[in-house]
């Protein structure tokens, strides 16, 4: 058992589910400073009991059931427990593609990925990505959104998004966008700096010389407050089924970074 100064306790507890082997589960419990050890252990026991019970119910399913998954989203559990249970269920039937500090990502189908929040940061990322995909004027440089799973409070616990493959090389990026990646980033930084000026005359002049891809990216970043550290990473760019270059994860913004 280890406690961090930030007020979060990470507990590792091996529990038996419906598999032959044991799994190590990390349980996050906040505001532990006023908890007695008995209370803390009681919460761990309750968590493990809930997980074991739900696993037993889904033992005979044999495949990922989106209706069952959607029903779990509306369950009465706390956020951390619910997020864990959803990822645990998805992990039994779907291939895990990645894991970040805020979300787990699974391959739902050959053309779709399932992104499940793990905490408040993941919820904020889902919301930002959902809003970017559904923007009324249309950002054509983000993955398509297919479904959103909300809990009882209307929070987007999971989103079903378009599967994006990585851009293979700078030459592919250039052939699809009309510019080399380093040149693209340099021009984008210039536009964003001009956007901070009270007089937008020079900005409009520069934008008038750019292609549609640059227009769409500039608008996305300026509107959504996406971090340039994320945008300037070549590995964060991908290609969709329409052979268009898109930002693979537009959910990391100034808003989501507050969580």
Domain boundaries, the chain: 1-60, 165-258
Q: Quick one: which of 172, 247, 176, 180 has its CA closest to 216?
A: 247
pLDDT at position 136 is 72
How far is the C-alpha of 47 from the C-alpha of 54, rounded, in Å?
11
pLDDT at position 161 is 96
HSE, side-chain direction, 13 A CA sphere, residue 13: 20
> Containing H/E element for 165?
strand 165-166
pLDDT at position 172 is 97
| Segment-wise mean pLDDT, segments of 10 residues, the chain, 259 residues | 35 36 40 54 58 51 86 84 91 93 94 94 92 81 94 92 96 95 93 83 77 87 86 94 91 65
CA terminus-to-terminus distance, the chain: 24
Please check whether residue 106 is in contact with residue 116, taking contact to mean a CB–CB distance below 8 angstroms: yes
């Amino acid at each position: 058992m280890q406690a961090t100064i930030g007020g979060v306790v990470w507990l590792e507890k091996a529990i038996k589910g419906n598999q032959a082997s044991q799994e190590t589960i990390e349980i996050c419990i906040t505001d532990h400073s006023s908890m007695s050890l008995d209370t803390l252990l009681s919460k761990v026991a309750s968590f493990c009991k809930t997980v074991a019970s739900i696993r037993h119910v889904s033992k005979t399913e044999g495949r990922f059931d989106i209706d069952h998954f959607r029903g779990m989203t509306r369950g009465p559990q706390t956020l951390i427990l619910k997020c864990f249970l959803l990822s645990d269920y998805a992990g039994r039937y779907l291939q895990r593609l990645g894991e970040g500090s805020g979300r787990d990502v699974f391959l739902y189908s050959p053309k779709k990925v399932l992104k499940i929040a793990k905490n408040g940061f993941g919820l904020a990322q889902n919301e930002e990505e959902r809003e970017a995909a559904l923007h009324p004027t249309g950002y054509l440089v983000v993955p398509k959104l297919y479904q959103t799973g909300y809990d009882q409070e209307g929070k987007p616990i999971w989103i079903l998004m378009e599967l994006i493959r990585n851009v293979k090389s700078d030459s592919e990026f250039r052939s699809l966008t009309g510019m080399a990646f380093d040149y693209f980033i340099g021009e984008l930084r210039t536009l964003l700096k001009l956007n901070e000026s009270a007089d937008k005359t020079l900005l409009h002049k520069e934008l008038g010389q750019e292609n549609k891809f640059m227009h769409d990216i500039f608008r996305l970043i300026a509107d959504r407050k996406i971090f340039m550290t994320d945008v300037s990473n070549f590995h964060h760019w991908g290609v969709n089924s329409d052979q268009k270059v898109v930002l693979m994860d537009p959910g990391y913004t100034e808003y989501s970074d507050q969580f």
